[in-house]
A = this chain, B = another copy of it.
Amino acid sequence: MKGIIFVIDGMGDRPVKELGNKTPLENARTPNMDKMVKEGITGIMDTIRPGVRPGSDTAHLTLLGYDPYEVYTGRGPFEAAGVDVDVQPGDIAFRCNFSTADEDLTITDRRAGRIENRTDEISETINQMKIDDNVEVIFKESTGHRAVLVLRGEGLSDQITDADPKHEGNKPKTVKPLNDSQEAKYTADVVNQFVVKSYEMLKDHPVNLERIENGENPANIVLPRGVGAVPTVTPFEEKYGLKAACVAETGLIQGIGKLAGMDIIHIPGATGGITTDIDSVHKHIVDTISSDKYDFILVNVDGADEAGHDGDIFGKRDFIEKVDKIMGDLDKMDDIVLFVTADHSTPVGVMDHTGDPVPVFFKAPGLRVDDVKEYGERAAAKGGLCRIRGSDVIYMIRDLMNVIPKFGA
């Protein structure tokens, strides 16, 4: 028996007038998922707890059986792990933007003209930075204008504010300690130095001189945010005895898989948006599940969340239909325990995550099949699972896989 948690990121929604007061999922044609719901058992799920608005990171950690209040300190560590930086517990990690600053450091473009190429050359330069002997600067580009920064050394803290001013026309924010500790003061000082030095090292960088010549905004400053201390995460296989893989589109989810010790399956052509190469996504999901290597697979497809953030009603609905199409193969597989869910709701009317519960279903042998006939937020609320929590899932799926130890005699 293989266990699969299939996350359709941000799929949960609220009734939408333009869809006849249905949600995008209720309105979408989803014959494959409807069939599995008919043969499965459904319910609604509060990923963290009712009313709590989960991030994708805290939601996925919870679904994998980690307590986010314990292991989640910020997004940085997961982003860094997601681009294959070999982070270690205690490292202080940030996600960063390559941005454009003028001479007095006023930010004129937070995304540096949406730079796409040669950021590896810029990263190489930043990696030469010396701040002092106590701290090692590890820097790596991610996709587009994104990058990660890891500070390694003694006496560092993640109790500091962000440098990113969020809006153009401002200078970088002075990073401040969030408490009175020496560690927080020192780390804030290090990051402030990092920002200024990044400008000094990049303003005349060959890549930037060429960009300026081409009329493009230079990537001449780096703005860190999303700070977190890399947590100690017990590997998934050690916790559960299951060899696991993560098939995901985004660095954030890949980073969570990585920190949990899972094999990361990269999907060429995956963008995390509604125009992602869904055939490539499909192929890599099916190949991974069909392989003999894994007992457990975490799948994440991201487009419904992006459409939710963009308020794109029909884009969201249509993307859910695309995901349904790649579900047909899963329906035909035997010997799998499949749990389909969203990690959180991202209602198109709110354009951000909300605490609304998400509709879920199990498809597996031996279920107490209920009488819900279609996959939707309100149909699922009448299902045989009633209302569960995200932290229940790793127990329930292992129970259906028949690999959870008995508690007692």
Which A residues contact B (CB, under 8 angstroms)? Answer: 14-15, 21, 23, 44, 48-59, 68, 72, 75, 226, 252, 347, 349-350, 352-356, 366-370, 377-378, 381-382, 384-389, 392-399, 402, 404-409
Which of chain B's residues has its CB closest to A50's CB?
B392
Chain B residues closer than 8 Å to A382, beta-carbon distance: 382
Contact A368:B408 (CB < 8 A) given known A44-B386, A356-B399, A395-B52:
no
CA distance A408 to B78 in the complex (A): 11
Q: A406: shortest Cβ distance to chain B, in Å?
A: 4
CB distance from A122 to the nearest CB of B (A): 24
The chain B residue with its CB closest to the CB of A354 is: B399
Interface residue from B21, B51, B369, B378 paired with A15 (Cβ < 8 Å): B369
- Which residue of B14, B395, B397 is within 8 Å of A368 (Cβ)? B14
A190 to chain B, nearest CB (A): 23
Interface centre among A226, A353, A397, by most chain B C-beta atoms within 10 angstroms, is A353
Which chain B residues border A370 with CB–CB below 8 Å? 378, 381
Assess whether B55 is in contact with A388, with CB atoms less than 8 Å apart: no
Closest Cβ of chain B to A11, distance in Å, is: 14
Query: Is A399 a contact partner of B51 (Cβ separation < 8 A)?
Result: yes
Report chain B residues within 8 Å CB of A386: 44, 381, 386-387
Report copies per complex. 2
Q: Is the CB of A409 within 8 A of B53?
A: no
Contact with A396, one of B50, B395, B396 (Cβ below 8 angstroms): B50
**Is chain A's binding surface mostly helix, strand, loop or mixed?**
loop
Indicate if the CB atoms of A57 and B404 lie closer than 8 Å. no
Give the residue of B366, B384, B392, B409 whose beta carbon is less than 8 angstroms from that of A55: B409
Question: In the docked arrangement, what's the CA distance between A17 and B387, Å?
Answer: 27
Contact (A355, B399) CB under 8 Å given A54-B407, A367-B14: yes
- Report the bound CA distance from A275 to B396 in whole Å: 33
Q: A23-B368, A55-B407, A368-B378 are in contact. List 17 more A-B contacts (CB 8 A).
A: A15-B366, A15-B369, A21-B369, A49-B395, A50-B392, A50-B396, A51-B395, A51-B396, A51-B399, A53-B399, A53-B407, A55-B408, A58-B408, A75-B408, A355-B404, A381-B384, A381-B385
For A392, the closest partner residue in chain B by CB is B50
A409 contacts B356, CB within 8 Å? no
A58 x B407 contact (CB < 8 A): yes
Contact in complex: A378, B384 (CB < 8 Å): yes
Are A409 and B252 also in contact (CB < 8 A) when A51-B398, A381-B370, A381-B386 are? yes
| Closest CB pairs A-B (n = 9) | A55-B408, A51-B395, A58-B408, A355-B399, A51-B396, A50-B392, A386-B387, A75-B409, A51-B399
Question: Are B353 and A368 in touch, CB under 8 angstroms?
Answer: no
